[in-house]
Amino acid sequence: MQLPTHLILGIFLQELLSGLIPNTILRVLLIIIICFISHFFVDAFAILTYHPPERENTKVWEYWHIFIYVSGIIIFILFFNPYWLGMLSAYIPDLWDWFFLRPLSKRKNKPELYDKYGIHFIADAIRRPLIRLGVPNLIYNEYGILPELIFISLVIIVKISTINLSL
C-alpha cells in the first residue's frame, strides 16, 4: 500500500504498544520490530488497491500520487511527535527498497542488487496465499484507489478532529 497507510499503521501500533508496555527499551524494540514487520502484511494486501509497480502515464496515476505524497506529509507532520518511531519503522522497507536500493540498481545497471538485497519478497510470500484464496487483484485497476482513499481520508478526518486547537 502507500505511504499514508504505512504511517497510520505505525501510529496505531506505537499507540497500542505504548499502552501495553511500560516505558522501557523493550517497548522501543517492539515498536521497531512490529511496525517493520507490519509493512509486509500491509503490502500483501496491496492487491486490493491501485498499486502499479511502475509509473503509469495517466491522470489518475498522477493525481493519486500527488494525494498520496501530500497526505503522507500531512500525517507525518501532524503526528511526528510522539509517533515518529512507529511511522519510520513501518516505512523503512519502502525507504530501503524503493528509495535506496532500486535507484542504486538502476544507476549502476545492476538489477541483481535489488534481486539480492531487496526485502519486499516477504510481502510477496504473504500475498501468494491471498491470491490462491481468490482475493481480487486491483493493482492495475484505477478504481482500486477507493479502498485506500476512504481509509486514509477517514483517519485524517478523525485524527484532525481530535487535535486540541485551543490557544
| Residue 167, pLDDT score | 43
What are the boundaries of each domain within the chain? 3-161
**Continuous H helices in the chain:** 3-20, 25-44, 59-94, 102-107, 111-117, 121-132, 145-161
Burial class (CB in 10 A: 0-12, 13-18, 19+), 89: buried
The span from the CA of 94 to the CA of 30, in Å, is 19
Claim: this prediction has a pTM higher than 0.75:
yes
| Residue 164, pLDDT score | 56
In the chain (167 residues long), the average pLDDT of successive 10-residue segments reads 91 92 92 97 91 89 92 91 96 93 87 87 92 90 90 76 56
